[in-house]
Amino acid sequence: MSDIVLYTILTVTAVGVTAATILYFAAQKFKVYEDPRIDQVEEALPAANCGGCGYPGCRNFAEVCVNTDDLDSLFCPVGGNETMASVASILGKAVTEQAPKVAVIRCNGQPQFRARTTEYNGAINCTIEHMNGAGDTACQYGCLGGGECVDACNFDAIHMNAETLLPEVIDDLCTACGACVEACPRDIIELRTKAKKDRKIFVSCVSQDKGITTKKACDVGCISCSKCFKVCPYDAITMGNNIAFIDADKCRLCRKCVVVCPTSSILEIGFPPRRVKEEKVVAKEKPDNVDNKEKNA
Amino acid sequence: MLKTFPKGGVHPPENKISADKAIVELPLPKKVFIPISQHIGAPAKIIVKRGDIVKVGQIIASAGGYVSANIHSSVSGKVAKLDKIFDTSGYRKDVVVIDVNGDEWLESIDKTTTLIKDISVDSEEILKKITECGIVGLGGATFPTHVKLKVPPKKIATTLIINGVECEPYLTSDHRLMMEKSEELMVGTQILMKALAVDIAYIGIENNKLDAIQKLSELATQYKGIEVVPLKVKYPQGGEKQLIKAIINREVPSGGLPIDVGAVVHNVGTTVAVYEAVQKNKPLFERIVTVTGKSVKEPQNLLVRIGIPVIQLIEAAGGLPEDTGKVISGGPMMGKALNSLDVPMAKGTSGILIMPEDESKRKDDKPCIRCTKCVSVCPMGLEPFLLMTLGENQLWERNEDERIMDCIECGSCVFVCPSDRALLDYIRLGKNKVGQLIRERKVN
């Protein structure tokens, strides 16, 4: 009886030792060297796996960071400068600070400004609606309101506003990963450099139609009248494709363009109310801008 | 037993209301809006400028690439401006606006209706004339005809198939054309046979157009190599691949073209346009359009110049009915709803269908119940429910593996779906995305 127990123990031990020896040599033979710094860098990254850096996930980004000489061309929009600095310190490389960005919706075609001319009856999906034509308004460039940007956002930073039927970005949650920019079939969303106190001035229209066509389709569209272009003291505004564009890096937030815009297509967000004298002008010409300010305050 | 394609297919109500209405010419309008992108491929390049005087048939935009076609003026008058207006694609596209003044045709065009049977030109000359006259496929896809007639090297065309199926419900423009321009159709077929150097041509006609079958069969005895094939009524028999399978029992391989099995398919409208281009020097600037619908007062088959706004066609058919829900360019299965009635008529507009309010809305989509009706009706042997689910989950690579690019967008799956799912919407989305993937792969 005790023999059986003994033999069993001996056999199992022998098998175990043999297997362990084979495994040990196999592991030595097929060993893959992996830079331990990749794990360290990955640890330092936010693990959002959003693809905002341009690589499929945080692990891939970490590999690229370790293998490259120049960190300046790489940036993790979620972690920002802090994360990039810690990555640089792990790797012993230098990195320059980049200005943080935020997504803005460049369309203000709320129902009261942009009349519905037709009824869209297909699947609720921006890309499908975009493929089928101009959408249910006469503007072929504006927001379709299907909410694909909302689905694309990993950080819960975009929501549809039930009143305006337009998406809204929550600046504090937005990491500027660019997922919404990619998802939008109409290229309405733009990543803009953040200004101090999260203040923003931008042309909330992307219509490339001629002024008269834009005006017919939407009350707050940019009609490319060039008034803002002429008034801007800092050369921040460029005109092209029947649209004005404000360069966030050059704009000094003086708000002169907002006052001259005849269609209120330039939005000012995050500013304190204007002084009494100016407020009259604002109240007269831009009631919707005041609305927007309050909404975003 | 009548011939048909074996796999899938549906039987939508035919509703060919305007089948016995003779073709009527629509009076000239005051203004026409001629789109410069009326075909698949690169848009044409405008070669006229504001203030130019043009005649009927004069070229106003030349082909912008290999797969492209010339555009000709459909009226005589003065170029008022170059503008952008909504076209059938649902977007504002470039148009040439011409103020009509009289009806002066180019001298080179033979305006008479006498039939010219002798084909005096050789195949190269035929191809040249078709290219110059801007002929495109008039069945709806508007693929430039001259490209289709150039057989690629190492491929041999053996059979010409003329598509007179008109399987879309409501539409009757091809039917009327076969009745009223039968002789021209026969000569046009012979021209195409000569251009392709083939000996056999079949004219496929569905069995619901008995008068056309009889008339063309009688005529076909006078012309060598042409045979009329009556086909069982089934949608989408007018699809190129289905028609080839039905008539000569050959299957076009997945991702291939009809020429891979030696067949070339042309629509009857295209064939008559080819006759007019080669024998009469007449460019493609007018076509037959069916204006129809259940509550339309006088459904019509109109001979319309390109560039006339759709609203004028509807007025010619007794005006817009009160219960209009939507206006479709094309047939009810594959046509596209218009977002404006000022959309100009283009080369590919085969019909204007006015749907009443109660028939024009989609029902709410409900969950898929796995009944596989869509699978059994798909003429291409695909699984529409799966393609849609993959599309909803953005799995484009798997969509490609499931052969989404073989879909001919006939809409049979949507027609039978008991849950009213937006199958075709998501399949089109998938095709778009997979197409992008394939193009990116080619570049890299």
Of the given ranges (A292-296, B101-105, B328-332, B370-374), which has the lowest mean pLDDT?
A292-296
Please tell me the predicted confidence (pLDDT) of residue A74. Answer: 85
Q: Are residues B433 and B291 in the same domain?
A: no
Please tell me the predicted confidence (pLDDT) of residue A295. Answer: 44
Q: Are residues B165 and B93 in the same domain?
A: no
Of B336, B337, B429, the CB nearest to A125: B429
Q: What is the mean pLDDT of residues B57-68?
A: 91
Task: Report percent pLDDT > 90 for chain B.
Answer: 81
Residue B30 lies in a domain: yes
B361 contact A CB<8A: yes
Q: Which pLDDT tens digit goes with each residue over A225-275?
A: 999 999 999 999 999 889 999 998 888 888 889 999 999 999 988 888 876
Which residue among B306, B332, B359 closes a domain?
A: B359
Overall CATH class of domain A101-296: alpha beta
CB contact under 8 A, B340 and A117: yes
User: In this model, does residue B193 exceed pLDDT 50?
Assistant: yes
Please tell me the predicted confidence (pLDDT) of residue A277. Answer: 55
Domain that holds residue B324: 26-109+284-359
B366 contact A CB<8A: no
Q: Which pLDDT tens digit goes with each residue over A181-237?
A: 999 999 999 999 888 888 889 999 999 988 998 998 999 999 999 999 999 999 999
Number of domains comprising chain B: 3
Please tell me the predicted confidence (pLDDT) of residue A290. Answer: 44
Residue A71's pLDDT band (boundaries 50, 70, 90)? confident
Please tell me the predicted confidence (pLDDT) of residue A197. Answer: 81
H-helix or E-strand spanning residue B272: helix B268-280
Residue A296's pLDDT band (boundaries 50, 70, 90)? very low
Alpha helices in A52-209 (DSSP H): 58-67, 80-91, 126-132, 148-152, 179-183
Q: What is the dihedral of CA A238, A272, A175, A202, to 10 degrees?
A: -20
Angle subtended at Cα B171 by Cα B165 and Cα B177, rounded to the nearest 5 degrees: 65
Structure tokens at A282: 């604002």
CB contact under 8 A, A133 and B89: yes
Q: What is the CATH number of the domain that holds B339?
A: 3.10.20.600
B429 contact A CB<8A: yes
Q: Are residues B181 and B207 in the same domain?
A: yes
Of A123, A134, A140, the CB nearest to B426: A123
Of B340, B365, B425, the CB nearest to A128: B425
A132 contact B CB<8A: yes
B434 contact A CB<8A: no
Give B18→chain A minimum CA distance, Å: 28
**A36-91 against A101-296: fold identical:** no
Of the given ranges (A87-96, A272-281, B180-189), which has the lowest mean pLDDT?
A272-281
Q: What is the CATH number of the domain that holds B256?
A: 3.40.50.11540
Q: Which pLDDT tens digit goes with each residue over A118-170?
A: 888 888 899 999 998 888 888 999 999 898 999 999 889 999 999 889 999 99
Residue A287's pLDDT band (boundaries 50, 70, 90)? very low
Provide the chain B residues 69-98 that lie in CB contact (below 8 A) with chain A.
84, 86, 89-92
Residue B2 lies in a domain: no
CA distances from A167 to A106, A159, A176, A189 (A): 10, 5, 15, 10
Residue B306 lies in a domain: yes
Q: What is the mean pLDDT of residues B5-24?
A: 92
Residue B191's pLDDT band (boundaries 50, 70, 90)? very high
Q: Are residues B97 and B144 in the same domain?
A: no
From B324, B164, B348, select the one nearest B247 (Cα to Cα).
B164
Do A58 and A42 touch, CB atoms closer than 8 A?
A: yes
Q: What ipTM score was computed for the predicted complex, to two decimals?
A: 0.88
Give residue limits of the domains in chain A. 36-91, 101-296
Residue B36 lies in a domain: yes
Q: What is the mean pLDDT of residues B102-106?
A: 90
CA dist., res. B272 & res. B256, Å (int): 27
User: In this model, does residue B202 exceed pLDDT 60?
Assistant: yes
The mean predicted confidence, pLDDT, of chain A is 86
Task: Report percent pLDDT > 70 for chain A.
Answer: 92
Q: Which pLDDT tens digit goes with each residue over A175-190?
A: 888 889 999 999 999 9
Of B92, B360, B365, the CB nearest to A140: B92
User: In this model, does residue B285 exceed pLDDT 90?
Assistant: yes
Q: Are residues B144 and B267 in the same domain?
A: yes
Q: Are residues B231 and B215 in the same domain?
A: yes
Would you put residue A56 in left (φ > 0), alpha (ψ -120 to 50) or beta? alpha
Which residue among B241, B263, B280 closes a domain?
A: B280
Q: Which pLDDT tens digit goes with each residue over B425-443?
A: 999 999 999 999 999 999 8
A134 contact B CB<8A: yes
B419 contact A CB<8A: no
Domain A36-91 has CATH 3.40.50.720: no
Q: Are residues B354 and B385 in the same domain?
A: no
User: In this model, does residue A285 exceed pLDDT 60?
Assistant: no
Residue B87's pLDDT band (boundaries 50, 70, 90)? confident
CB contact under 8 A, A134 and B425: no
A133 contact B CB<8A: yes
Which residue among B264, B280, B296 closes a domain?
A: B280
Q: Are residues B129 and B256 in the same domain?
A: yes
Q: Are residues B132 and B212 in the same domain?
A: yes
Give A32→chain B minimum CA distance, Å: 30
Is omega for the bond preceding B236 within 30 degrees of 0, making it cis?
yes
Q: What is the mean pLDDT of residues B341-345?
A: 92
Q: Are residues B292 and B409 in the same domain?
A: no
| Chain A residues inside the 8 Å CB shell of B426 | 123, 125, 128
CB contact under 8 A, A117 and B428: no
CA distances from A208 to A237, A250, B324 (A): 16, 23, 32
Residue B71 lies in a domain: yes
Q: Are residues B157 and B223 in the same domain?
A: yes
Q: Are residues B92 and B73 in the same domain?
A: yes
A112 contact B CB<8A: no
> Which residue of chain A is at minimal alpha-carbon distance from B85?
A213
pTM comes to: 0.85
Structure tokens at B194: 């000569």
Residue B115 lies in a domain: no
The mean predicted confidence, pLDDT, of chain B is 92
Residue B34 lies in a domain: yes
CA dist., res. A183 & res. A158, Å (int): 12
B415 contact A CB<8A: no
Residue in the structure block whose two tokens are 């005809």: B145
Residue B368 lies in a domain: no
CB contact under 8 A, B425 and A209: no
